[in-house]
Structure 1
Amino acid sequence: MTQQISAIAAYDDGDIDTNRSDNPHLNDLIASRYSRRQTLMGGISAAATAVFGGAMLSACGSSDPDEAPLVAVTAGANGTATSGQKVTLTGSVTGNSLSSGWTQISGTPVTLTTVSPTVSTFVAPSVTSTTPLVFRFTGTNLSGTPSTADTTVTISAAVLGFTAVAKNLNDVVTVPAGYTATVLYRLGDPIAAGVAAYKNDGSDTEFSKRAGDHHDGMSYFGLAATGTAPDPTNNTRGVLVMNHENITVPYLHTAGATAVGGVRPEAEALKEIECHGVSVVEINRTGGAWSYLQTGALNRRITPMTPMAFSGPAKGHALLKTVYSKDGTTGRGTINNCANGTMPWNTYLTNEENWVGYFRRDSGDAAVRTAAGAAKENVSLARYGRSEGGTGNNGWSTVVAADASSTVYSRWNVTAKAGLAADGTADFRHEVFQYGWVVEIDPFNATSVPRKRTALGRMNHEGCVIGRTVVGVSPAFYMGDDAQNEYLYKFVSTAKWAAADASNADRLAMGDKYLDAGILYVAKLAADGSGTWLPLVFGQGGLTAASTVYPFADQADVLINTRLAADVLGATKMDRPEWTAVNPATGEMYLTLTNNSSRTVANTDAANPRAYSDPKTSGGASNGNANGHVIRLRETGDTSEALSFKWDIYAFGAGSDLDAANINLSGLDATNDFSSPDGLWFGLPSNITGTATPLMWIQTDDGAYTDVTNCMMLAAIPGVVDDGATKTITNTIGGATGTQATRIGKAPGTALRRFLVGPKQCEITGIFSTPDGKSVFVNIQHPGEGGNAAAISSSWPASQAGTPASPSRPRSATVVITKDDGGVVGL
């Protein structure tokens, strides 16, 4: 069949004239505009420009906004930066511009800060690999038509962004070029209305209303505009909470400490007692300068005389009963507070370290306890270092109080009195058991009573740091027991983490929830790089009444005698476990092992592998593990609830001139060699220093390297567990020689660098930052501790402004470190 094409409808695109209006054609517009202006503009080019706009207006010189020429813009060349660096974007506009500015087009989002219409800045975001960010600069002409240009900034992983500070013996805090250290809060500074300025001549009193001595562990809490609640984002107003570990007695009194017939004056003892404890003080930043507020509503001092409450399994236990607390539920004060802990529910943990030395125990005490049926108390006292003899640190127990009913001084004598109640309710024989705890403080309630958290055990608590929190998982808290050959601990809460608890207004109730019930573990490290957490649970692992080490009665007894329980379980003896810190990106836990003079060639192990002689040029060689090391572990499955882990040694302290094969195992050089690591802290996850590749700070408390340099603080960007290799070293002390295999992390190299050197005879300890990481608070402890009022050996902090005309008594103090360009400190 032949198809008839005419019978098939053809395609119709609708292209017909249906507009019968009188609106003009384009040609009409051109003609009209041309006829109106050609005599002024000189021809058809002006008519065409008026219709077709910007590209042709630039040469017209028109003052009519409807006919404004486009502007010409540039965005600068492409660039590079590393995470944490401050980046400046600079554009340019040629021609009359209505507005201009920068926007981000692609890549990891950043916050742009406008400096001027053509200049914006941002902080390079945290990345683990090379990441391009594209930014657009836009300029608009007078009629609002935009012109744009793009530039790309390629971001690489964070690196340390400063030149290493040289080792030195100067009497100032030395920081890198481009940084400033400012003194903020010093021994004796008044923190209450009506308290006089500090004279610093030994005559000052009222230390319950002044800054204490030996500033140590420290936390910053952002303060809300109301002045009574937390604001975790506030970078300019906050509460600084810090420990006052100890005192430098010669500088506190007019001519040093005195005693008549072995009896200390009450006024001197009271001053010394009040100089211990904790400060809570409001601070703010105005016009770029930080200061503390003397009359802050939250200001207070917590001292060895402040009322305390016990919580957890040991609350009310027989060993906590005294004449002051007959039911064992309360006590007085906290002392020798070293490192700290910052809880996500906005409380502060202070930790009682070398507390036992403050107590007096007279000859005959052991016999009285034995006769009273408490012979095992003698075992406990010996294990915690309180033998018979001596009057205790500073001799406070010798004071004869003006108030005959006062027990402020007699409490420091824990000698059991024959003929008094055997349960301890008639004397202070059990006062010593009221110390050695983690203490929780609510910095936002000046009337709250601090709580001693007994579930976390009793020891020389250096610090207590919480690991990463994961919803639905029990959080872990890591603690070192700071004494030679003591142990590393972890407490795992019974409670599962709930994110809402971070903002709960009843902060101490959150402490009750997470810190009063759980399991305390002690670490056992194996030579192959594995490790096990051993539970300190009554009835398990030999922790029973049948133990030949110590007959445990119950779980409270296990916690009160944590060291003895860890002995029974066979935990690994460590080289003075000090500060702990948790990498917020990986969850790995780092621990400083300061040094150990009792480490010998015969008793090294894989986790504590060195025994050698450090050839100090003055004072003779230091033997053992004189320079310390930093160890780290990673929980199995990266969970806080794990019962096993892997470990290696991140870095070994050593002078760069020491034997690289057997002592300077981390390959340290003049930019990063150090000795006796102590303070340890990671940047906050609220800023670049705590994300992706976090920044870690190491502080030193040194005695082996002080002929070369004052104590210091270093910055590091560490790797991960198992990024190095195993190595066998040869240890030698005198005629003793032996080999030891160990596990060494990747050499830190340029990712470890000296950031700060302190003044003479000081220790660098205590560090925290504002949420944005742009202000870092650091404590300088006991400068000039080797001198006295008649022979001042440091004038710091007076010397920070220049050498004073005459020596000034040194004072422990907090400094705040900022970057001169306003950037993030350290990167």
Structure 2
Amino acid sequence: MTDVTETPFGYTDGDVDTNHSTATTLNELAEQRYSRRTLLRGSSAIVAATMGGSLVAACDNNDVGSDAPPTVAAGTAVTTASGRMVTLTGTATDDKQIATIAWTQPSGPLITLSNPNSNTVSFMAPVVSAATDFRFRFAAIDSKGQTSSAETIVTVNPPALGFTAVAKNKLDVVTVPAGYTVSVINRTGDPIAAGVAAYKNDGTDTNFAQRIGDHGDALYWYGLSATGTPDATSSTRGLLVQNHENINDQYLHVAGPTTVNGARPESEAQKEIDCHGVSVTEVAEGANRAWSVKQDSSFNRRITPATPMAFNGPAKGSNLLKTAFSPTGVAGRGTINNCANGTTPWGTALTCEENWAGYFRRSGDNANRSAKELTALSRYGVSSSTGSYGWSTVVAADSANTLFRRWDARAGTGAATSDFRNEPNQFGWVVEIDPYAPASTPRKRTALGRMGHEGCWPGAFVVGKKPAWYMGDDSRREYIYKFVSATAWVAADANPTDRLAIGDKYMDSGTLYVARFAADGTGTWLPLVYGQNGLDGSNAAYPFADQADVLVNARLAADKLGATPMDRPEWTAVNPVTGEIYVTLTNNNAAGRPLNGTDPANPRHYNDPKGGTAQYGNPNGHIIRMKEADTEATSFTWDIYGFGAGADLDKTNINLSSLDDSNDFSSPDGLVFARATHAGGQAKPMLWLQTDDGAYTDVTNCMMLAAQPGTVGDGGARTITNTGSGGATATQATRIGAAPGANLRRFLVGPVECEITGVDSTPDGRTLFVGIQHPGEGGTPAAPTSNWPDSQAGGTVAKTIRPRSAVVVITKNDGGVVGL
């Protein structure tokens, strides 16, 4: 046998073990199998289990250096609040190579860290109900396998407002706190269909049936998955459903609206009509958190006053709904003056028809009307001799086109089906829309009553309990209502294949109630049911024929029951944690609320002069709230959460909420609680409060505030002294909530002459959508009084640029929940 001697020459790629120490090598550490739970709870080898691909950079333990382990630091302790972003930065030094670093969480509820194998990690502070400590460990391994670690503590407090209040101002921009970014989408006239030209904004644009309408109002986000299916959890792609309440007609035409020989031109009227209604647009978050609208999305849709509608519920087919267009009273056309909104857990949008009465021409036909008809028309204010914008005067090129003639509600001598005398009865309803089905026909839910609808917000959906929706009727001395379904909630109905069919199940049968407030802080829901409490043919003021008659004339029914007249009930909102109901009462004047006409729920009468002009009554408005045992309850307790007032007004009798320069407001309108899907809507939910003001605009533009309210009963009884003109006084007992203090502060101030209306967020709370309505409404085409949204970008803007309503998208620069 021949001996073989190894040559001393050759090549090695280093894939041999030359370190004969007993220390564990990095390669061996990488081969060890540690569970995720072991990683998070800590052990002597937790770092190795977190390295992942970073171990590729590690070399064998053949470096030269001392045997000292790395020196590491995890930074100082941090105190924060739920929904805020936390950043931790660790440091590691060694006279050898640092092979690997990692952040882990040895204890506490599990938190997902971004880039745990880097010096800096971040996370959103989770929701807690009390101060909670979270311990984090930063560790490093050097090239000899030596490990060192250090820990830091993050103390998380319950959700709290986390911004400095925005100062009152009269700038022509949307002003938000430091640390936030504003962008603009869905401006009036923006195209929402393929091939529609960009908006020129000079009065020559047409085809508003495929453009964003005017006067954007209430809005709501409906999520979409990556594949375009409904996804209530999606925060990066979704559908924005927005109301379009009214128009600035002066800016829609070249030199404002015109009339020729007493008639409006058809093209102008068509444009104005199409600017009303609702829009559905697909929006998505792109690179660097930039949001955009997909112009050619198949989901994009305009619902206008001409869109086919179906009537559902007890009034369907009623003689009161029959017209020349719908002789059977089961169909209608369109929706108008859409203001506040609501939603359902099965993924549909509710839009509310508010000030519809003024659009109709109706005078001079009393001889052709019954006494009952005249009573109803008067009670709803259908009395104009021209109708808003004069649409009924249009002579259509197509004589069969009744889209203009329908606005003439004068009764002829023939049957009701020969004219449009009943057309006003086709409006004033809550309309349900399926945003995910652009070809579907919206349904008017008559069981919820006919009025100047402001809001239709749902209460809690509890399995086995009948759900309820809460509504205001926006006129001075009108009422607050709720509708309770006849059907108890079934959880499976939240994910139906036919969403409008689920609406049929829950919203076509039930009981409509109206609120009566007592002086002792209690209240009663009174049922509007035919045959009960005088709601029948025996009622002298208005003899009701049936339940359809009660619902079509809900105001008259509420009058009979003795409901409490309120100071313009506007939006309704429900606290997602407590279930308490909040209603904005925008304002009232001396005619609607005289000195001797106050009551505990509408207690103030005072003067807040503007520019030397007296404003007696309740010019700044207030917010009432109610607490029920559950949605089926017929009683409640109540108090007044907040009183609008300037900071300088008397805190004893007027500024009862002790507002200061950081949170004073006037004429509350929009009102929405944060979604329960993120930190802002949990523990102590955040409330967004918006204003539509004329009483305080000598001081500031309209605004949006954020609040974290307490609960009904957190204040107490109070007796105030009211003041009338001429120095007369009167006392009034009421019930007020605790002063909000720092738990109410101004988040946003809008541009010149705007209303802030409509707000919702993505489910994660990191993106907020806010409606800016009618900026520069007092200007002319030649001399606009605002140039927003063009002015938002800063720089020089031509003074002739016409303003437009739009939606602003607000994000927090650090990625946290907006407002916290």
- The two structures have a TM-score, normalised by structure 1, of 0.90
Name the structure 1 match of 2:89.
Answer: 90
1:692 partnered with 2:686: no
Tell whether 2:607 aligns with 1:632: no
**Residue identity opposite 1:376 in structure 2:** K
1:414 positional shift: 0.9
Deviation at 1:68, TM superposition (A): 9.1
1:104 CA drift (Å): 3.0
1-side partners of 2:324 and 2:77: how far apart? 74
Residue 357 (structure 1) shift: 0.4
Q: Secondary structure at the match of 2:454?
A: coil
What percentage of residue pairs aligned between the two structures are identical? 62
Q: Which residue of 1 aligns with 2:38?
A: none
1:260 shift after superposition: 1.9
Identify if the C-alpha distance between structure 1 residues 111 and 562 changes in structure 2 by more than 3 Å, giving closer, same or farther: farther
Correspondence 1:266 to 2:266: yes
Q: What does residue 468 of structure 1 align with? A: 460
What is the rounded CA distance, in whole Å, between the counterparts of 1:741 and 1:102 in structure 2?
60
The 1-side partners of 2:668 and 2:725 are apart by 25
**Counterpart secondary structure, 1:464:** strand
Match of 1:385 in 2: 381
- Describe how 1:514-525 pairs up with structure 2 within 5 A: 514-525=506-517
3-state SS of paired residue (1:200): coil
Name the aligned partner's letter for residue 397 of structure 2: A
Amino acid in structure 1 at the alignment position of 2:724: I
Residue 401 of structure 1, aligned match among 393, 396, 401: 396
Distance change in 2, residues 1:240/1:748 (3 Å): same
Does the alignment pair 1:186 with 2:187? yes
Cα drift, residue 329 of structure 1: 0.6
1:277 maps onto 2:277 in alignment: yes
Structure 2 residue matching 1:771: 3-state secondary structure: coil
After the TM superposition, which residues 106-505 of structure 1 pair with which residues of structure 2 at under 5 Å, given as runs? 106-114=107-115, 117-141=118-142, 147-227=148-228, 229-287=229-287, 288-363=289-364, 365-370=365-370, 375-387=371-383, 389-418=384-413, 420-421=414-415, 424-505=416-497
Letter in 1 for 2:104: T
1:295 & 1:173 partners in 2: Cα distance? 28
Amino acid aligned to 1:480: G
Q: Report how many aligned residue pairs link the two structures.
A: 765
Q: Which runs of 5+ in 2 are unaligned?
A: 1-16, 30-43, 45-59
Q: Indicate the SS of the match to 1:360.
A: coil
- Rounded Cα–Cα distance in structure 2 between residues aligned with 1:316 and 1:729: 50
Q: Does the CA contact (< 8 Å) of 1:68 and 1:141 recur in 2?
A: no
1:789-813 deviations in Å (ceiling 9; x for gaps)? 1221111111111240332111011
SS in 1 for 2:418: coil
Matched position secondary structure for 1:383: helix
After superposition, what is the alpha-carbon deviation per residue over 1:113-164, rounded to whole angstroms, capped at 9, x for unaligned? 2276122212222223222222233434557775443322112222211111
CA distance in 2: counterparts of 1:385 and 1:806, whole angstroms: 39
Q: Do the aligned partners of 1:69 and 1:141 also contact (CA within 8 Å) in 2?
A: no
Q: Aligned to 1:531, what secondary structure does the other structure show? A: strand
Q: Is the 8 A contact 2:62 2:144 kept in 1?
A: no
Q: Which amino acid in structure 2 is aligned with residue 720 of structure 1? A: T
Contact 2:477-2:566 at 8 Å conserved across structures: yes
Question: 2-side partners of 1:103 and 1:328: how far apart?
Answer: 67
Q: For residue 614 of structure 1, what is the amino acid of its counterpart? A: D
Q: How far apart, CA to CA, are the structure 2 residues paired with 1:470 and 1:435?
A: 31
Would you say 1:532 and 2:536 are equivalent positions?
no
Give 1:644's aligned amino acid: S
Q: Which residue of 2 aligns with 1:76?
A: 75
Measure how far apart 1:76 and its partner are.
2.3
| Equivalent residue number for residue 711 of structure 1 | 702
Question: Following TM superposition, by how much is the alpha carbon of 1:231 offset from its aligned partner in structure 2, in angstroms?
Answer: 1.1
Distance 2:701 2:22 in 1: 78
2:669 pairs with 1:678: yes
Post-superposition CA distance 1:613-669 (Å, at most 9, x none):
111125x1211100001111110x2x1111111111111000001111111110011
| 1:47 CA drift (Å) | 7.3
Deviation at 1:526, TM superposition (A): 0.7
1:316-375 superposed Cα distances (whole Å, 9 cap, x missing partner)? 111011111111110000000001112111111110000010011130x222122xxxx3
What code does the residue aligned with 1:377 have?
Answer: E
Distance 1:146 1:450, change over 3 A: farther
1:676 partner letter = S
> Which amino acid in 1 is paired with 2:759?
I
1:567 equivalent among 531, 535, 559: 559
Quote the residue 1:650 is aligned against.
Answer: 641
- TM superposition shift of 1:111: 3.2
Q: 2:21 & 2:802 partners in 1: Cα distance?
A: 85
| Conservation of the 8 A alpha-carbon contact between 2:362 and 2:386 | yes
| 3-state DSSP of counterpart to 2:506 | helix
Moved over 6 A (4+): 46-51
Q: Distance in 2 between matches of 1:217 and 1:154?
A: 37
* C-alpha contact (below 8 Å) 1:537/1:555 kept by paired residues: yes
C-alpha RMSD of the superposition: 2.2
Counterpart secondary structure, 2:556: helix
Please report how far the alpha carbon of residue 64 of structure 1 lies from its aligned counterpart in structure 2 after TM superposition: 7.8
| 1:603 Cα deviation from its structure 2 partner | 0.7
Who wins on radius of gyration, i.e. which is larger? 1
The equivalent position to 1:578 in structure 2, one of 570, 593, 604, is 570
- For 1:756-804, what per-residue CA distance to the aligned partner results, in whole angstroms no more than 9, with x for missing partners? 1111000000001111111100011000001111221111111111240
What is the TM-score normalised by the length of structure 2?
0.90
Q: What corresponds to 1:661 in structure 2? A: 652
Partner of 2:5: none
2:40 alignment counterpart? none
Alignment match, 2:37 = none
Q: Name the CA distance, whole Å, in 2 between partners of 1:381 and 1:144.
A: 87
Contact 1:318 1:328 in 2 (8 A): yes
Report what 1:603 is aligned to: 597
Cα–Cα, structure 1 residues 258 and 530, in superposed 2: closer, same or farther, change >3 Å? Answer: same
Residues 573 and 672, structure 2, Cα contact 8 Å, conserved in 1? yes
Between the aligned partners of 1:147 and 1:476, the Cα distance in structure 2 is 59
Which amino acid in 1 is paired with 2:598? T
The question of 1:701 aligning with 2:696 is answered: no
How far apart, CA to CA, are the structure 1 residues paired with 2:205 and 2:168?
A: 35
Q: Is the Cα–Cα contact under 8 Å of residues 574 and 673 in structure 2 kept in the other structure?
A: yes
Give secondary structure in 1 for the equivalent of 2:540. Answer: coil
